[in-house]
Amino acid sequence: MIKALFVTLKNLFVKPVTLQYPTQKMPMTERFRGLVDLHTAKCIKCGQCVKICPTLCLDLATKEGADKKKDFGHFKYNMELCCFCGLCEQVCPTQAIYMGKIYEIAVYEHGKLHIDLLNAGKYDEWAHPTVK
C-alpha cells in the first residue's frame, strides 16, 4: 500500500505527457493514413482502387476524352464510409491516390463528407497537420 503511494508520488513530479489539444497538436507520422487525396495528373484511371476498397467508398466514372484517351467522368470519395485501411494507396500502380495527413474530420453536414477528388481545392478548409 505504501509502495503504491510512492509510485503515485514519484509520478506527481513527472512532467505531464498529455498535449493541450486544440492549441498543441501531435505531428503526424510519415506513414499516417488520413483522408484520401489524389494527384489527378498521375492517375491512369485503372480503377484498381475502386475495386479493392472494402467499403466501396470510391466512385470513379470514365469517359472517352480528347484523342481517344480515357478521361475522368467523376471521381467521388465518400468519406462517411471510408475505413482508412490504406488499400487504395497500396494498390495504386502510379501512386496517384494516396492517404493525406488530415485527421480532424468532424463536420456539421453530411454533404461535406462526400468529396470530389477532382476538385483541387477540396481540402483547403480543412486543418492540415504537421508531419514529423
Partner 1 sequence: MTISILTFIIMIIVGVAALVFIAVSAMFLIWWERKVSAHIQTRYGPMRVGWHGALQSVADVIKLLLKENITPAGVDMLAWWFAPFFAVVPSVMVFALAGRDLNIGALYIMALTSICVLGIFMAGWGSNNKYSLLGGMRSAAQIISYEIPLILALVTAVMFAGTLSMQKIVEAQKDMWFVFHPNMAVAFLIFLIAGTAEVNRTPFDIPEAESELVAGFHTEYSGMKFAMFFLGEYTNMFIISALAAALFLGGWNGPFLPPVIWFLIKTYGIVTLLMWIRWTLPRLRVDQLMGFAWKVLTPLAFANLAVAGWVLLR
Partner 2 sequence: MDYTPVKEDIATEEFWVNMGPQHPSTHGVLRLELKLSGETVVDSIVHIGYLHRSIEKIAEKRTYTQFIPFTDRLDYLASMNNNLAYVLAAEKLMGIEANDRAKYIRVIMAELGRIASHLFGITTFTQDLGAFATPLFYGMREREKIVELFDDICGQRLTYNYMRIGGVSRDLPNGADDKIKKIISYMRPKIDDLEAMFSKNRIFTARTKGIGVLTAEKAVSYSVTGPNLRASGVKWDLRKDEPYLVYDKFDFNIPTGKNGDAWDRYKVRMDEMRESLRIAEQAVLGLPEGDPTVKAGKIFRPAPGQAYMRSENPRGELGFYIVSDGSPIPYRMKIRSPSFSNIAVLPELINGLKVADAVCVLGSLDVVMGEIDR
Three cell numbers written together for 122: 477540396
Round to whole Å and give the CA distance between 69 and 44.
10
**How many CA atoms within 13 Å lie on the side-chain side of 66?**
0
Q: Which does 54 bind (CB under 5 to 8 A by kind): partner 1, partner 2, none?
A: partner 2
Count other C-beta atoms under 10 Å from residue 82's C-beta: 21
Of the chain, the end-to-end C-alpha distance in Å amounts to 42
37, 100 Cβ separation under 8 angstroms: yes
Contact flag: residue 106 with partner 1 (CB under 8 A): no
93, 57 Cβ separation under 8 angstroms: no
| Site residues (CB under 8 A) for partner 1, limited to 8-37 | 8-9, 11-18, 20
Report, in Å, the least distance between residue 121 CB and partner 2.
Answer: 25
Measured from the CB atom, the residue of 10 and 68 that comes closer to partner 2 is 10
Report, in Å, the least distance between residue 25 CB and partner 1.
Answer: 15
Q: Which does 126 bind (CB under 5 to 8 A by kind): partner 1, partner 2, none?
A: none
Measured from the CB atom, the residue of 7 and 66 that comes closer to partner 2 is 7
Contact residues toward partner 1 (CB under 8 A) are 1, 4-5, 7-9, 11-18, 20
